[in-house]
């Protein structure tokens, strides 16, 4: 195969890990194969989200696999999901060390896509590969360190300033920057006005299912959340603030708040809350359309963040309540995919839930949502725009 058809993707997340980040990179890799690209993936040994190496990969320092016409190099990492900042930093540095070894002893393709965040991993990758004169494409899904500041994980101190310098270095030394939101691209343009950028959202790529009609006589409304149960999503607080007079709440996923959610349910058995644990993405696609509507919460407004759930649920034809503000909320309003409520305004959320009826969520509305996804959130058209640069 020609050298020009080889593409290396550096990522922290990849199947068999689950979640939006893993799905995003897998879809990108699969899509590029349609353009006759041979894809090489460099990623840690699977460990997300529990912070432990998956049983079938334990005891290995490195593993190379050939899967679906892709070469996957899985590297050693000190796996951890600890809340301790120093332990998490060590985990990122451990993967960075493995990358340095990989870059030193392995030949890398001319074209490289680097996922960011983690900011430090992207910095190490760009620092080493720029010297090798590779074409570097930085895929920015969240603005770090700014997002960390918004979440309260960082303070404006010397460490924050160092991370800002890393961020600027990454942008400056990339040949092309992919941003998953207009806010991300605006932020980069403010720092480097002449930098080449491309809006590349996390559009899903799976068959469009048939629309399911909900039962007009089935009450209460069945509200569902599916995804990471972390601090940024704030599902634990959400479930304590919901008014359950008109709804029942179903939860799928795992993460840092899983134990708190289970404990809350045990302490409040009278509330119609059901925790179903973690299931595969394919299984979710079969289950989610059976619910009346879904909620996409963010505990805080995070500049640049547009959850990929918006695009995935739209393709399923599932009405949404977006509880996060910003560009994500604007997408919901503009495309009429559901309801947008500012983050933290539980009074407005409960008022909206109390006003939604079964008639509001009928097959006609679901078809409209799905058609918007096919028209506006088209994975193939977006991939075609990216392939021009590869």
Kindly report, residue by residue over 202-235, the tens digit of the pLDDT: 888 888 888 876 655 567 899 999 988 888 899 9
* Mean pLDDT, residues 53-70 taken together: 89
Q: Do strands 273-275 and 293-297 pair parallel, antiparallel, or not at all (unpaired)?
A: unpaired
Q: Please give the full DSSP string across 204-217, using - where no structure is assigned.
A: --SPPPPPPPPPTT
What are 297's two structure tokens?
């919460």
pLDDT in tens, 14-39: 999 987 788 889 999 999 998 888 99
Q: Does domain 3-200 have CATH number 3.40.50.800?
A: no
Q: Please give the full DSSP string across 5-71, using - where no structure is assigned.
A: GEEEEE-S--TTS-SHHHHHHHHHHHHHHTTTPEEEEEEESS-TTTTS--GGGTT-SEEEEEETTEE
pLDDT, greater one: 2 or 147 = 147
The fold adopted by the segment(s) 221-376 is: Rossmann fold (3.40.50)
pLDDT in tens, 281-304: 889 999 999 999 999 998 878 888
Cβ 70 vs Cβ 33: under 8 Å: yes
* Cα–Cα dist 321/340, whole Å: 6
Contacts of 246 (CB under 8 A, 6+ apart): 219, 220, 221, 353, 354
* Cα–Cα dist 159/212, whole Å: 51
| 3-200 and 221-376 in the same fold | yes
pLDDT, greater one: 370 or 51 = 370
For the chain, the structural domain boundaries read 3-200, 221-376
Report the sign of the C-alpha dihedral through residues 263, 347, 215, 223, in that order: negative
* Mean pLDDT, residues 156-179 taken together: 94
pTM for the full predicted model = 0.86
pLDDT at 213: 67
Largest CA distance in the chain: 65
What are 197's two structure tokens?
């950028």
Quote the strand ranges of 121-189, DSSP E: 135-140, 176-179
């Amino acid at each position: 195969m020609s050298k020009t058809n080889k593409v290396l993707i550096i990522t922290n997340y990849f199947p068999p890990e689950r979640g939006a980040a893993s799905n995003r990179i897998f879809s990108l890799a699969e899509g590029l194969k349609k353009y006759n690209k041979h894809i090489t993936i460099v990623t840690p040994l699977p460990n997300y989200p529990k912070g432990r190496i998956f049983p079938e990969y334990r005891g290995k320092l490195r593993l190379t696999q050939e899967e679906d016409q892709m070469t996957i190099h899985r590297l050693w990492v000190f796996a951890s999901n600890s809340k301790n900042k120093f332990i998490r930093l060590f985990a990122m540095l451990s993967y960075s060390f493995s990358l340095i070894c990989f870059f030193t002893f392995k030949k890398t393709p001319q074209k490289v896509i680097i996922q960011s965040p983690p900011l430090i991993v992207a910095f190490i990758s760009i620092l080493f590969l720029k010297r090798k004169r590779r074409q570097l494409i930085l895929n920015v899904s969240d603005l770090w360190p700014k997002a960390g500041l918004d979440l309260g994980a960082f303070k404006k101190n010397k460490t924050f300033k160092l991370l800002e310098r890393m961020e600027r270095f990454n942008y400056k030394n990339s040949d092309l920057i992919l941003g998953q939101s207009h806010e991300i691209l605006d932020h980069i343009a403010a720092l480097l006005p002449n930098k080449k950028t491309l809006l590349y959202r996390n559009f899903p790529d799976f068959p469009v299912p048939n629309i399911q009609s909900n039962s007009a006589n089935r009450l209460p409304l069945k509200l569902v959340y599916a995804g990471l149960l972390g601090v940024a999503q704030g599902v634990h607080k959400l479930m304590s603030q919901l008014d359950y007079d008109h709804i029942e709440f179903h939860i799928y996923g795992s993460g840092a708040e899983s134990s708190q959610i289970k404990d809350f349910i045990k302490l409040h058995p009278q509330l119609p809350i059901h925790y179903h644990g973690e299931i595969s993405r394919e299984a979710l696609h079969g289950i989610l359309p059976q619910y009346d509507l879904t909620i996409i919460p963010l505990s805080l407004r995070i500049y640049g963040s547009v959850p990929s759930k918006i695009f995935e649920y739209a393709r399923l034809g599932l009405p949404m309540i977006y509880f996060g503000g910003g560009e994500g909320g604007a997408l919901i309003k503009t495309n009429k995919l559901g309801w947008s409520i500012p983050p933290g305004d539980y009074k407005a959320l409960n008022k909206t839930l109390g006003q939604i009826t079964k008639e509001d969520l009928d097959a006609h509305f679901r078809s409209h949502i799905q058609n918007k996804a096919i028209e506006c959130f088209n994975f193939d058209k977006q991939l075609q725009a990216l392939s021009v640069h590869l």
